[in-house]
Structure 1
Amino acid sequence: MALPSHATLKRKSTLPVWVSITWRVLAVVFMFVLAIGVHWFDRSGLRDNYDGHVSFADVVYFTMISITTVGYGDIVPVSQQARLFDALVVTPIRIFAVLLFIGTAYNFVLKRTWDKLRMAVIQKNLRGHIIVAGYGTTGSEAVDELIARGTDPGHIVVIDCAADALESARSCGCIILQGDATRDATLEDVKIRDASAMIVSAGRDDTSVLITLTARHLAPDLKISTVVNAEDNELPARAAGATTVINPVSFAGLLLANSCKSQHIADYMMDLASIDGPVALTERPVMPDEVGQPLSALATGVGLRLYRNGQAFGFFAPEARALQAGDLIVEVIRTRDRSA
């Protein structure tokens, strides 16, 4: 992704909406008063084609008409000073006032209305999507891997509080929502009950556990994968409702330990975990023509484990000698047309 030619420091405004609108209104009023004052003190440079007399009301009228329109010609500047003031000051005030009102209307009315309409359309089409709560290093890697495995980015919804992280997710084609994933309203906005799975990677274990608890409360049957960094928090994450709990620190420690005694195990584990490797781990149900066959006889890959009635059995277990309908198989398959 191309980097911008310049960087800009930004932060969320601490001013309430009504204060921001008030400041804009006061700015416009100040410019109007300034123009009225100058026209009043230089009223000799104006000519009233109606009665020939320029009163204060005429000055107010002329100033308002000049700033908001091009004027009607009933009162006109005749002196050089008045014409220069109208050309060099009143005209910029007119442009600034118009832009200010248009910008205010867009920011506080049109943009919000348009965003609500777009959100309603997106929500209407959200079915079977994957929710990613937290778009840090782990969350972004998960999204990249999902896309590499063939998931449509338009079926991935990213929730984060950081605007820059969300902008990165949007550049990948994902649907984004800036908000707090620990709140019911936020998860309901992304249609959590209609989602197929959720990845929780908030960066803090306590936040991840709370998000998991909130998600499980709203969607009892949702598949939730939660990332925790401390081993002590794996049990709370499962108790909160996580279907799968992943500890990247522990996994990295296992790979480091294996790399001390073996040269290739860590590389092979990375190949299994990533779609970019020549092999990959997959999970699928047993096909009808495989019922009755041993796990070792799979034609699609190398069978490692099967799940039957919620229990896991390795390829060496007696249960693996004959597959049954309803079994789930974990196997190693080839992802590229070359030897693993």
Structure 2
Amino acid sequence: MAGGKTRRRARRRKPGGLILHVNSGLSPEKKLLVRGGIILALVATVIAVFWFDREGLKDNLDDHISFSDILYFTAVTITTVGYGDIVPVTDTARLIDAFAVTPIRIFIWFIFLGTAYEFVVQKIVEDFRMSRIQQNLRDHVVLCGFGHSAMIAAREMIAKGHPDDAVVAIDVSEERVRAAADAGFIGLLGDATSEELLTLACVEKAKAVLVNTRRDDTNILVILTVRHLSSSTRIVASIRDEENIKLARLSGADLVVTPTRIGGYLLADAVASQHATPFLCDLMSAGGHMVMTERPAGPEDIGRTMAHVSSGVVVHVHSNGREIPFIDRERYVIREGDRLLMICPSSRHKPEPG
């Protein structure tokens, strides 16, 4: 977000989806300068037209058309004041006013009205809308980078029960932000490394921030910025190069995912096994027959070994900083405060009673 200057523009795409355009490319000062230049060029065009056709104009005061009269007549014509002291009297002058000057006059008024709306009325409305959105954003998930992987992650979260209006997608590509809004999410168009943009996304109140831009160095900068804004928000980062994993963790990422490593494992399993890779993919998907879940140990689990938990297969236990592997399932007794990583039947595929 260059210079820390932003312009916000909201547009409803469908129920639940919202695009918030942040940093439209030109600062307000540059926009005003460009539009002022266009207006000056149009006014100069009208002055030139009237000057070269000054014989078709009549000054009712002194019957003489000077250059100052042309400037005056241009001003009153464009502003539609029309005092009547200078008037077109020939057919050519009237046709020029009707078919050349009138469209320019209308276009100039459109620029004035559009500028007033964009910089005054729309800003008031959208600032109010933004404040309402920020008030409702809590325990949401922020996706920094909304590529194909992030879209899949968002769909999986929704399938697992996360509300779609509590997902904020940030990307520099307007096409990807539109895709997020079409999916029912809140889309922010801008650079995810911007502290101001991340503040708009309320990362300090977020349940988690998923960092998945196209470059590792950008991901690390996003991690640093998010961690600067919030010391408690969970950060999950996607890192492509192995050498950057440690740097991402040192930057503040709570968990680092390496897509290339995961993809390599799945490819290797596919060589020796026909069914292992499809099962693992099914296990990771919310729509699969089996799902991987993590939950705290309940009263019914405490005092039992991992093997005797009845609600599913406990494959791993996190216990007060210790990691209990599956190989200890017959020996380890679950304690209060443990977190269980389990494989359970998906609710979509559970057989109905009777």
| Fold match (TM-score > 0.5) | yes
Taking the TM superposition and a 5 Å limit, the aligned residue runs for 1:35-46 are: 35-40=46-51, 42-46=53-57
Aligned residues: 327
| Cα distance between partner residues in 2 of 1:251 and 1:84 | 73
Which residue does the alignment assign to 2:17?
none
For residue 228 of structure 1, what is the amino acid of its counterpart? Answer: I
| Cα distance between partner residues in 2 of 1:183 and 1:26 | 31
Change (3 A) 1:150 1:54: farther
| Cα distance between partner residues in 2 of 1:176 and 1:314 | 40
Taking the TM superposition and a 5 Å limit, the aligned residue runs for 1:249-260 are: 249-260=260-271
Residues 313, 320 of structure 1: 8 Å contact kept: no
Which moved further from structure 2: 87-96 or 98-107?
A: 98-107
For residue 294 of structure 1, what is the amino acid of its counterpart? Answer: T
Change (3 A) 1:61 1:203: closer
The answer on 1:153 being equivalent to 2:183 is no
Which residue does the alignment assign to 1:128?
139
| Cα distance between partner residues in 2 of 1:240 and 1:13 | 29
Which residue does the alignment assign to 1:300?
311
| 1:290 alignment partner, SS class | coil
- Aligned-residue RMSD, C-alpha: 2.9
Residues 165, 185 of structure 2: 8 Å contact kept: yes
| Cα distance between partner residues in 2 of 1:232 and 1:45 | 78
Which residue does the alignment assign to 2:16?
none
Which residue does the alignment assign to 1:71?
82
Which residue does the alignment assign to 2:229?
218
| 1:238 alignment partner, SS class | helix
Post-superposition offset of 1:227: 1.2
Change (3 A) 1:290 1:105: same
Change (3 A) 1:14 1:215: closer
The answer on 1:97 being equivalent to 2:135 is no
Match of residue 274, structure 1, among 277, 281, 285:
285
Residues 307, 329 of structure 2: 8 Å contact kept: no
| Cα distance between partner residues in 1 of 2:223 and 2:74 | 61
The answer on 1:118 being equivalent to 2:152 is no
Contiguous gaps of at least 5 residues in structure 2: 1-22
Which residue does the alignment assign to 1:337?
349
Post-superposition offset of 1:66: 2.6
Deviations 1:165-196 (A, max 9, x none): 22222222222223333343333232222111
Post-superposition offset of 1:272: 0.8
The answer on 1:191 being equivalent to 2:180 is no
Which residue does the alignment assign to 1:3?
none
| Cα distance between partner residues in 2 of 1:30 and 1:316 | 79
| 1:221 alignment partner, SS class | coil
Post-superposition offset of 1:275: 0.8
TM-score normalised to structure 2 length:
0.80
| Cα distance between partner residues in 2 of 1:89 and 1:298 | 84
Change (3 A) 1:312 1:319: farther
Residues 314, 320 of structure 1: 8 Å contact kept: no
| Cα distance between partner residues in 2 of 1:134 and 1:261 | 35
Residues 160, 178 of structure 1: 8 Å contact kept: yes
Residues 182, 210 of structure 1: 8 Å contact kept: yes
Change (3 A) 1:193 1:305: same
Which residue does the alignment assign to 2:173?
162
Post-superposition offset of 1:15: 6.8
Greater RCO, CA 8 A, separation 6+: 2
Which residue does the alignment assign to 1:310?
321
Change (3 A) 1:192 1:24: closer
| Cα distance between partner residues in 2 of 1:270 and 1:313 | 24
For residue 233 of structure 1, what is the amino acid of its counterpart? Answer: N
